[in-house]
A and B are shown apart, each in its own frame.
Chain A
């Protein structure tokens, strides 16, 4: 590793806030890009399944 320890990695010689906030925002947005549509699709499938139940009974 370029840095001598984790404390230095965090501090980034003063640029820590910039680097870590950029990476944190990116992580959150990228995660949302995947998690939100995945959840939505599961909801859609569940909804379609519910719609099917009445016809199964007959």
Chain B
């Protein structure tokens, strides 16, 4: 059946490596282009916020990186589940590929948020804010998973521990997402809505609608790059890898 064939192929490192080589330039190219366009548009071609002034322009990095950092964790946790349930080699490689990318994105969300917070709230950081602390926890989860990968001599044990940690940490994601609704928070409640009209001004929203897909594409490209490294590491003694290197 065609669908099983697709799933089976997905588990083949050789097929995956070839697909990455084919698609990487397009995904990375388009993602970078969208991010650059949204950055230039947001920095120079939108009006400042009537309350926050020009510091609001940080939104075009802060929001996309935060959104993708959260989405990345879910994908990573799915890879963890696949690894544990089906013992799929490629799932472990995907987990190892996503962790550093997710960590970097969470770092950017935190840092840009802190920089934005200083002129807006007068403080870089507030411990009592639920969203800030749960995002920081997300960062530590990513780092912890990376550390687990490196901590074990036997990579299979490291893979398993990391997969379990990725699953345990998923409880943090809805907490981050709903924290601004559940607890009184300095952080702004959601202005982007799916079912109702968004409360953000249209002029401000437009570059964001370019930046978010751009960030998703860039994330996929970064994971592809990291995954290629994982595949090459795992498959370095195979014939097909030797042929690939000789090209």
Contacts and interface: CB of A to CB of B under 8 A. Distances in A.
B107 to A, nearest CB: 7
B16 to A, nearest CB: 14
B244 interface: yes
Contacts of B232: 41, 44-45, 48
Report, as a range, how many residues of chain B touch the other chain.
Answer: 35 or more
Contact of A37 (B53, B116, B119, B225): B225
Question: By DSSP majority rule, is chain B's interface helix, strand, loop, or mixed?
Answer: helix
Nearest to A56: B246
B212 to A, nearest CB: 15
Contacts, number: 105
Given A18-B119, A41-B232, A2 B48 contact: yes
A15 B61 contact: no
B225 A22 contact: no
Interface in B19-60: 28, 35, 39, 43-48, 53-55, 57-58
Interface of A: 1-3, 9, 12-16, 18-19, 21-23, 25-26, 29-30, 32-34, 37-38, 40-41, 44-49, 51-52
